């Protein structure tokens, strides 16, 4: 993120904290960086689960990104952002009837099938609608990506159909009425920092495609090899070597493309594209010393950014944090940076050295564009969703209003207890 701190300070001054700040130029350049490391016949699908803000998706769409969605709301956001049905895939282990029907009605490029029963459901809805639905079969392979802290494949998960079962039953998938099988989908892991690991994972999936095509003498038209390209959050982590990535992936995809020129190759990515393009700005509300430690209490913690608070991690490590209200030459002190929750775990900076903090200072939690509020318990303590601000081409845009109390309260329904005598003192 290359935005200067004075622009961030004036944006949060205008729109309030906690707020997510996005650098539009960085977002575009990350997308191009990935796209340029791949042959032009490989399509990059941006995963909305990582950050579904319509303006960010629209900016990526303007650069040519396709979209991967996991709920009807993500589907509608993708359409609003300018995505067209032929550039949308829809996956996820729990798709409701109305979600499948909407995807079928739109005729999206592929509904990614996560189980044989789901295939039956899609077939029956397509039959009722008198159409043929495009699908891809998600396979949970017998292989798992090295170097991925979270593995979706190669182990028991609720994703996809097991490799052996899929290979054995593919004939029946192809024969399912009102179904057109575009190809296969595999998503194995996330936050992978070694190019070699992405290469090995991709090679495995392309081989699987080859194997199933040969076995069934079927002309598929799509292979989705997932992705999982990562971002280095912590000390001693190195960024993905994009030059090496290109050197490995281009020949791999080229030889596959030579053999299967009509097959659309899809890579999915979220974190790599948006992770470094966002930061969370929080304001210091209190400074206190407690049992020998100095605490800076801020207005955004786990509730806005559970990843930075280390939720789901055994070893909690700090995202990079900067006190942008302080000059870089000011003295440093050791802090515990907390959020606003009444939970001892609500710490986004543990034993972290920062330029001396004063009340009302703004702290910036960097590398926060991916899996921020969208995967955080934003309603805990009823604080609500933070503001989102895009800085792009020397302008600042509020791209999501911070939730107000009434936004939250108005969703609750107050019962009129006519027959209950209320005890009042």
Ligand X SMILES: Cc1ncc(COP(=O)(O)O)c(C=O)c1O
Contact (Cβ atoms closer than 8 angstroms) between residue 126 and residue 179: yes
What span, in angstroms and rounded, lies between the C-alpha atoms of 82 and 234?
Answer: 35
Which stretch of DSSP H or E encloses residue 101? helix 97-106
Of 155 and 332, the one with the shorter C-beta distance to ligand X is 155
Is 342 annotated as catalytic? yes
Return the structure tokens found at 230: 């990562």
Over the window 130 to 159, marking each residue x when it contacts ligand X by CB under 6 A and - when it does not, the resulting string is: ----------------------x-------
**Binding to ligand X by residue 50, rule CB under 6 A?**
yes
**Binding to ligand X by residue 270, rule CB under 6 A?**
yes
Q: Got the DSSP string for 101-152?
A: HHHHHHT-SEEEE-SHHHHHHHHHHHHHHTS-EEEEEEEE-S---TT-SEES
Residue with tokens 């493309």: 257
Sign of CA dihedral 228, 230, 233, 234: positive
Give the footprint of ligand X on residues 197-256 (CB under 6 A).
227-228
CB of 150 to ligand X, least distance (A): 7
**Binding to ligand X by residue 269, rule CB under 6 A?**
yes
What span, in angstroms and rounded, lies between the C-alpha atoms of 55 and 77?
Answer: 9
Which of residues 125, 173, 187, 256 is near ligand X by CB under 6 A?
Answer: 187
Which residue of the set 70, 94, 304, 342 is catalytic? 342
Binding-site size for ligand X (CB under 6 A) equals 16
Give the footprint of ligand X on residues 53-72 (CB under 6 A).
68
Contact (Cβ atoms closer than 8 angstroms) between residue 204 and residue 143: yes
CB of 91 to ligand X, least distance (A): 6
Which of residues 77, 91, 113, 181 is near ligand X by CB under 6 A?
Answer: 91
Name the one range near ligand X by CB under 6 A: 176-184, 187-195, 295-303, 316-324.
187-195
What span, in angstroms and rounded, lies between the C-alpha atoms of 365 and 319?
Answer: 7
**Binding to ligand X by residue 190, rule CB under 6 A?**
yes
Distance of CA 263 to the CA centre of its chain: 26
What span, in angstroms and rounded, lies between the C-alpha atoms of 305 and 302?
Answer: 5
CB of 90 to ligand X, least distance (A): 11
Catalytic residues: 342
Residues making contact with ligand X (CB under 6 A): 47, 50, 68, 91, 152, 187, 190-191, 227-228, 268-272, 370
């Amino acid at each position: 993120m290359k935005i200067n701190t004075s622009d961030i300070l004036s944006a949060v001054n205008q729109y309030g904290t906690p707020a997510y700040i996005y650098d539009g130029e960085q977002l575009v350049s990350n997308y191009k960086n990935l796209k340029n490391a791949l042959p032009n016949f490989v399509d990059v699908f941006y995963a909305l689960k990582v950050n579904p803000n319509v303006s960010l998706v629209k900016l990526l769409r303007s650069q040519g990104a396709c979209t991967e969605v996991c709920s009807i709301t993500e589907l509608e956001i993708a359409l609003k952002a300018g995505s067209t049905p032929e550039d949308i895939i829809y996956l996820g282990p729990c798709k409701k009837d109305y979600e499948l029907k909407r995807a079928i009605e739109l005729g999206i490029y592929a509904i990614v099938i996560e189980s044989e029963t789901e295939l039956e459901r899609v077939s029956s809805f397509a039959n009722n609608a008198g159409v043929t639905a495009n699908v891809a079969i998600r396979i949970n392979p017998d292989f798992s990506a090295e170097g991925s802290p979270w593995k979706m494949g190669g182990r028991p998960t609720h994703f996809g159909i097991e490799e052996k079962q899929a290979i054995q039953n593919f004939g029946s998938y192809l024969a399912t009425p009102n179904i057109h099988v575009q190809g296969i989908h595999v998503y194995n892991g996330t936050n992978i920092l070694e190019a070699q690991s992405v290469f090995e994972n991709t090679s495995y999936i392309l081989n699987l495609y080859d194997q199933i095509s040969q076995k069934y003498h079927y002309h598929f038209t799509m292979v989705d090899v997932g992705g999982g390209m990562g971002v280095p959050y912590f000390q001693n982590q190195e960024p993905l070597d994009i030059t090496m990535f290109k050197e490995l992936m281009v020949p791999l995809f080229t030889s596959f493309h030579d053999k299967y020129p009509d097959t659309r190759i899809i890579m999915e990515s979220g974190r790599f594209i948006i992770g470094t393009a966002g930061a969370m700005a929080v304001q210091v509300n209190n400074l206190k010393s407690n049992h020998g430690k100095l605490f800076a209490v801020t207005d955004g913690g786990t509730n806005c950014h559970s990843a930075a608070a280390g939720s789901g991690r055994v070893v909690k490590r700090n995202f990079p944090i900067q006190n942008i209200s302080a000059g870089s030459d000011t003295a440093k002190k050791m802090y515990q940076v907390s959020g606003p929750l009444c939970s001892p775990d609500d710490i986004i900076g543990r034993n972290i050295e920062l330029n001396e903090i004063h009340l009302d200072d703004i702290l910036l939690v960097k590398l926060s564009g991916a899996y921020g509020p969208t995967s955080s318990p934003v309603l805990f303590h009823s604080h609500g969703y933070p503001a989102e601000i895009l800085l792009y081409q020397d302008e600042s845009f509020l791209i999501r209003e911070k939730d107000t109390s009434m936004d939250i309260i108005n969703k609750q329904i107050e019962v009129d207890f006519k027959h209950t005598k209320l005890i009042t003192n």
